[in-house]
Amino acid sequence: MVFGFMIYSVLIFGMQYKIVSMTTSWTWISLGLWLLSFAGFFIFVISYSYFPSGVPDWYKIPSHSFSHPNYWLALLLVPVVMMFVDRSFSLISSHFWPTANEILRRRFEVWDGIRRKESVFRKEIAGPNDGFMANDREEEVLEQEEEGRISDRSPLLISEKDEDQITNS
């Protein structure tokens, strides 16, 4: 029973770490609820294990497991290895087979970076009107913006290959 409880705990912790890796925007509420779920897990398993009428084989199993260092080592190492494998797979797949969401996210990240470079370079280094550009892509974007082909909030123009991937997915 101790081994089964350890597997169950590792599964719960592994999925909690997966939630952390998938979260793109943290607030104090999401962090608080995440920590509360860990506390809820421990409160539940400890309180449930002291009810002998529930599952007699499970009586005091968590308290016995908590006293073994192997339980805590597995609880730490197995989810870390799971996250390493999962993260490696997702990075490789997003690099070679990006989804439409990933393509658009990259476009917005590039767009935001160019807008920041433009404001820094134009205001601090080059002055507002002397035509200094951070790179060729920024110059192209500014020309398109002046012509009205893209607005201040739109992403960079999407290449035909990326547009095909977006429409086909």
Concatenated DSSP letters for the chain?
Answer: -HHHHHHHHHHHHHHHHHHHHH--S--HHHHHHHHHHHHHHHHHHHHHHT-TTT-GGGTTHHHHHHT-HHHHHHHHHHHHHHHHHHHHHHHHHHHHS--HHHHHHHHHHHHHHHHHHHHHIIIIII-SSS---SSHHHHHHHHHHHHTSS-TTSPPPPPHHHHHHHHH-
Taking only the tens of pLDDT, the chain with its 169 residues reads 678 888 999 999 999 888 888 887 888 998 999 999 999 999 998 888 887 766 667 778 888 888 889 999 999 999 889 989 998 998 898 888 888 877 777 777 776 666 555 555 444 444 444 444 445 555 666 666 666 655 544 444 455 555 565 566 5
